[in-house]
Chain A
Amino acid sequence: MSITVFQRARIVDPSRGIDETGTVIVDGKKIVAAGADALNQGIPGGAAVIDCVGKAIIPGLIDGRVFIGEPGGEHRETIASASIAAAAGGVTSVVMMPDTDPVIDNVALVEFVLRTAKDTASVNVFPAAAITKGLDGHEMTEFGLLREAGAVAFTDGRHTIASSMVMRRALTYARDFDAVIAHETQDADLASSGVMNEGLYASWLGLSGIPREAESIPLERDLALARLTRGNYHAAKISTAMAAGAVARAKADGAKVTAGVSINSLSLNENDVGEYRTFFRLAPPLRAEEDRIAMIGALKDGTIDVIVSSHDPQDVDTKRLPFADAAVGAIGLETLLAVALRLHHNDEVPLLRIIEALSTAPAKLFGLPGGTLKPGALADLALVDLGEPWLVREADIRSRSKNTCFEGARLQGKVLKTLVGGRTVFSA
């Protein structure tokens, strides 16, 4: 097997709390050394040596919330095209949402995704299965069989389960299989015809607002049920200070609760909607600046465990419409890391914490390999120039859909190389 030596890199490994200059040695599929102690280990004969002075090596990113169009919406994104985008973004594993057509709610579909990923994808693709059949919020799917087939978590994707009883049973039953229930919460009645954050800005634009309470009312219900059932609950994409407070209280009570935040909620706010820019129509909606600041605080203090891209490819035809008629969602795999690094460059969140929320924490949360540079681990990693500036240009986007919120944005932090299981899947 081939050996690659990454010499004198800044090694950022949250799994071991390490941020130091050292050497990373990859032998075949695995990391055999990573740290300052490997600096003077000597270079094995025949090894490829890469000088990494001024560059960083981080565990490959694990994106816990990725929507892909395959099966059923291949014109938006395939598993293969999403994996190319992921690799370019330093993302080595994605958790794929079940919102496909057909829905990933049975064993055959999980097997289809895993087989397609094996044949066509350059990064690890882990399917999450639906909580309810057809994502309709009523009948539970076969948690046990789906888990055995390879589903890493259960979620109704973009949908919120309205029935408290269904949610209670799902949390209770999932506990028997040690499975995580990941849920995006939006009260359909309260959100009603809302298309952006409720407030003065929406009022002037004449757009219906979505109040923050639409997120926190079903979330508070879920958290109460998590306390009741002792089930593993993951608040998949919170966006408000109110929701962060609720999660913090549940954690303090000892409930098995974790939370995620979309990179968009950490970096953008409702003003970015501007004059009806439909690429900024997202779920949850972009909130006020106070909420964005609160999300950063919650990430920093550990209330929020993971950052996700919430990558959601949408065809341009469904975005070139009046705001209220346009499709919801934005892509994000390729910009996830660099946008998150803004928090590092602005001294808002420590680098180690950011990388943890992007790799180590989601690995732990979903029970996935990766998220570490520990010797013996699979070599899922990224070589990054943390400071290198680059401009996001539509023409450079690898994803099949181009609905990015960061077109024209100047970002800092460029992925130079991505390795999945020791294999180079991206090289700048």
Chain B
Amino acid sequence: MTDLSSLPPYPHRHLLGIRDLSPFDIELLLDRADAAVSISRQSEKKTSTLRGRTQINLFYEASTRTQSSFELAGKRLGADVMNMSVASSSVKKGETLIDTAMTLNAMRPDILIIRHQSAGAAALLAQKVGCSVVNAGDGAHEHPTQALLDALTIRRAKGRIAHLTVAICGDILHSRVARSNILLLNALGARVKVVAPSTLLPSGIAQMGVEVTQSMAEGLKDADVVMMLRLQRERMAGAFVPSVREYFRYYGLDAEKLKAAKPDALVMHPGPMNRGVEIASEIADGPQSVIQEQVEMGVAVRMAVMEALLDPRRNRDGHNA
């Protein structure tokens, strides 16, 4: 196991997006996450790194997997974790994000994890509270821990990120996962391709540091990694694509389409999957799939992020300092 004290301290107070990170920051977090993987694989999984620290999960959008991943990460580091259930809280009674933030802030947490349906919500929260903030997904903006866990999964399987070809396929337009991944993969020197019907591509995509194609065969050619994105149900029937059937025909990952990629290409998906919509079951459960590893890496990355943000060596200016 890596001795964390040998790693340089992490220079940021919050994790709001991959955009704010240098390649060095990213590698540092991945190194820390590697160490966290070994902790999770021990029978004794609890450490005392964050003992006495308070972590609040503030999830405005339901997300079983991300929320439990953050919860478990906090608990494995020894933090006290509180889940704010937004559905039954005063938020439902019309309290604004800022007021909720101020209230939680008064309870003096050390770290706030926020998931919100609006882009920029995490940044807004970070301006108003005295503790560290981790963006667990804000609208279609960013989902940095997802990109980090994807990178960790790739790095552990392929040994590097630089010079790999990664194809990101599906609903790029609405995807914060795609944005964070495009930023991270570019920062670490990968070649990024995106494959999607034109109705699911954001304006200006060609200037986002990616190669764009509408063909899976072309997009997956020479790919070392194939990342599939979830297509939200409300976008399937006529709004952005005509039908599930047509979408799967052209963009669903099946054995035939996967043949275009390198034989040892990794298949990834941030979950939850729509089997038979963006990915065939045989692929999701097949030998190239690392979807379960992604979940495992998720806990490790979140441990690494929280540990880095709360590193006592960092000169913190918040009221918890």
Contacts and interface: CB of A to CB of B under 8 A. Distances in A.
Interface residues of B, number: 24
B86 to A, nearest CB: 14
A91 to B, nearest CB: 33
Interface stretch (A158-166, A196-204, A303-311): A196-204
B203 A205 contact: no
Contacts of B141: 205-207
Interface in A306-365: 317, 320-325
B208 A206 contact: no
A109 B247 CA distance: 54
B207 A317 contact: no
A321 B96 contact: yes
Contacts of A206: 119-120, 138-142, 176, 179
Interface residues of A, number: 22
A361 B18 CA distance: 50
Interface string B110-146: 0000001011110110000000000000111110000
A321 B124 CA distance: 8
Secondary structure of the B contact surface, majority rule: mixed
Nearest to A324: B118
Contact of A275 (B98, B123, B203): B123
B135 to A, nearest CB: 11
Nearest to B116: A322
B202 A205 contact: no
B205 interface: yes
A276 interface: yes
B179 A322 contact: no
B120 A204 contact: no
B320 to A, nearest CB: 24
Given A275-B123, A320-B98, A322-B97, A203 B118 contact: no
A199 B204 CA distance: 6
Contacts of B124: 276, 320-322
Contacts of B207: 200
A208 B119 CA distance: 10
A285 interface: no
Given A206-B119, A206-B139, A276-B124, A200 B208 contact: yes
Contacts of B98: 320-321
A205 B120 contact: yes
Nearest to A209: B203
Contact of A203 (B116, B139, B205): B205
Interface of A: 198-209, 211, 275-276, 317, 320-325
Given A317-B96, A324-B119, A324-B139, 12 more contacts: A200-B207, A202-B202, A203-B202, A205-B119, A206-B120, A206-B138, A207-B140, A275-B120, A321-B98, A322-B119, A322-B120, A324-B118
